[in-house]
């Protein structure tokens, strides 16, 4: 090969390298809550800002909150898989039975708070649930910290208080838990809950404190009940930040490195801290406006645990039919969350 050809090849190589380095990308990010929700304002937008700064402006984000790309929250996992969105924040459990292993963290009395349970969930995903998310680039998992009971007219006082109450639930495990407690689960997207309560279609909702103001639950509920600090909630929702695999694979190496550095365990920690911080702030605000917040007693919690024991047993059997060792998954989840029965 002569000198001129070597120079030409070098020029082409340099041009390709510079082109890759100069590539700009815009991530289309979709989720199911309004843009003012803490998830976007306190985690996802700062994440985009951080990536933008680290990439000298080559990574940008375009948000599509409140299902602006169409469909329902349950369809977000397909929207990101099919490239309609590049990144989504959603609950895998909204797609009932599709991601069975990760549902272990939605079982009764598994989650005490967002910070500790989200870290535990990330470890659980790495050890037990990676195969069911092989079609995605998983950026983070976290929990909602546990779901309190928010009602409009009736205060829920222990196990008997659930009897006959129609409450919105977000996942199939949450619905089974509520049914075991004597309530009537009603599945609906978060955006519809406030209107449903106002019209008397439902009596209230199971939901994380983070949802109270973005969905305006604060305007239609008066009573809120939760376990004592350090005690696990009756149910919780697993949430995930998923990226289109092809979008990630097509990024230049330096941009991939920025995505990797700002997600995973780092993002998990930010979500956990944010959900706990917002929960504390929301409870102060909701009490200040005159709403009543009460706590389940230890006796009430034990009665609720006994009532929901069958939910765990049935879940283990159902996931066993899909080739998973349900009892092993439950044991692993309880070990990681510190909720092993004493």
pLDDT tens digits for 154-205? 999 999 999 999 999 999 999 999 999 999 999 988 889 999 999 999 999 9
* Contact between residue 197 and residue 216 where contact means Cβ atoms under 8 Å apart: no
Residues 188 and 130 in one domain: no
Residues 203 and 268 in one domain: no
Residue 5 pLDDT > 70: no
Within a domain: 16 = no
Residues 57 and 134 in one domain: yes
With cut-offs at 50, 70 and 90, classify the pLDDT of residue 2: low
Residues 172 and 217 in one domain: yes
What is the pLDDT, as a whole number, of residue 189? 86
Within a domain: 18 = no
**Which residue, 56, 36, 54, 32, is CA-closest to 45?**
36
pTM equals 0.93
Residue 269 pLDDT > 60: yes
Within a domain: 2 = no
* Domain interval for residue 136: 23-144+237-278
Mean pLDDT for 40-68 is 98
Instruction: Find tokens 């899909």 and name the residue.
Output: 322
Q: pLDDT digits over 281-334, tens only?
A: 999 999 999 999 999 999 999 999 999 999 999 999 999 999 999 999 999 999
Residues 54 and 92 in one domain: yes
Residues 158 and 272 in one domain: no
What is the pLDDT, as a whole number, of residue 12? 42
Q: What is the DSSP letter of 104?
A: G
- Secondary structure of 281-323 in HEC code, one letter for each residue: HHHHHHHHCCCEEEECCHHHHHHHHHHCHHHHHHHHHHHHCCC
More confident residue, 342 or 321: 321
Residue 18 pLDDT > 50: no
Q: Which residues of 192-210 are buried (b: 16+ CB within 10 A; e: fewer)?
A: ebbebbeeeebbbbbbbbb
Residues 231 and 269 in one domain: no
Q: pLDDT digits over 65-102, tens only?
A: 999 999 999 999 999 999 999 999 999 999 999 999 99
What is the pLDDT, as a whole number, of residue 8? 47
Instruction: Find tokens 């939605």 and name the residue.
Output: 106
Within a domain: 269 = yes
What is the pLDDT, as a whole number, of residue 4? 58
Within a domain: 14 = no
Within a domain: 173 = yes
What is the pLDDT, as a whole number, of residue 34? 95
Residues 181 and 191 in one domain: yes
Residues 219 and 314 in one domain: yes
- How many separate helices (H) and strands (E) can be counted in the chain? 13, 11
What is the pLDDT, as a whole number, of residue 50? 98
Question: What CATH code is carried by the domain that includes residue 258?
Answer: 3.40.190.170
Mean pLDDT for 206-222 is 95
Determine which of 104-108, 134-138, 189-193 has the lowest per-residue pLDDT on average.
Answer: 189-193
Mean pLDDT for all residues in the chain = 94
Mean pLDDT for 207-231 is 96
- For the chain, how many structural domains are there in total? 2
Written as six digits, the tokens of 173 are 């495990």
Residues 197 and 294 in one domain: yes
What is the pLDDT, as a whole number, of residue 13? 44
Residues 309 and 270 in one domain: no
Residues 71 and 219 in one domain: no
What is the pLDDT, as a whole number, of residue 78? 98
Within a domain: 12 = no
Within a domain: 175 = yes
Helix-helix angle 114-124:265-288, to 10 degrees: 150
Mean pLDDT for 239-268 is 98
């Amino acid at each position: 090969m002569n000198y001129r050809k070597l120079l030409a090849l070098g020029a082409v190589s340099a041009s390709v390298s510079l082109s890759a380095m100069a590539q700009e990308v815009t991530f289309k990010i979709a989720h199911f809550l309004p843009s003012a929700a803490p998830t976007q304002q306190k985690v996802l937008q700062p994440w985009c800002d951080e990536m933008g700064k680290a990439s000298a402006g080559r990574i940008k984000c375009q948000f599509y909150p409140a299902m602006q790309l169409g469909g329902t929250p349950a369809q977000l996992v397909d929207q990101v898989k099919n490239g309609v969105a590049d990144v989504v924040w959603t609950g895998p459990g909204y797609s009932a039975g599709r991601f069975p292993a990760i549902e272990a963290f939605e079982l009764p009395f598994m989650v005490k708070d967002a910070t500790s349970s989200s870290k535990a969930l990330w470890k659980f995903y790495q050890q037990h649930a990676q195969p069911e998310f092989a079609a995605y680039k998983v950026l983070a998992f976290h929990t909602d910290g546990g779901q309190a009971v928010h009602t409009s007219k009736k205060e829920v006082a222990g196990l008997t208080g659930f009897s006959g109450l129609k409450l919105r639930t977000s996942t199939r495990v949450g619905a089974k838990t509520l049914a075991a407690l004597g309530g009537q689960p009603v599945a609906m997207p978060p955006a519809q809950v406030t209107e449903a309560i106002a019209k008397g279609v439902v009596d209230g909702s199971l939901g994380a404190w983070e949802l109270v103001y973005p969905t305006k639950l604060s305007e239609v509920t008066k009573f809120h009940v939760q376990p004592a600090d350090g005690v696990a909630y009756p149910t919780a929702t697993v949430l995930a930040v998923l990226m289109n695999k092809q979008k990630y694979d097509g990024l230049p190496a330096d941009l991939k490195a920025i995505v990797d550095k700002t997600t995973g365990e780092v993002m998990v920690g930010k979500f956990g801290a944010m959900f706990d911080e917002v929960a504390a702030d929301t409870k102060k605000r909701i009490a200040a406006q005159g709403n009543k917040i009460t706590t389940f007693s230890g006796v009430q919690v034990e009665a609720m645990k006994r009532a929901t024991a069958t939910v765990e047993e049935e879940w283990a059997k159902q996931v066993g039919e899909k080739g998973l060792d349900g009892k092993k998954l439950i044991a692993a989840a309880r070990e990681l969350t510190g909720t092993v029965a004493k």
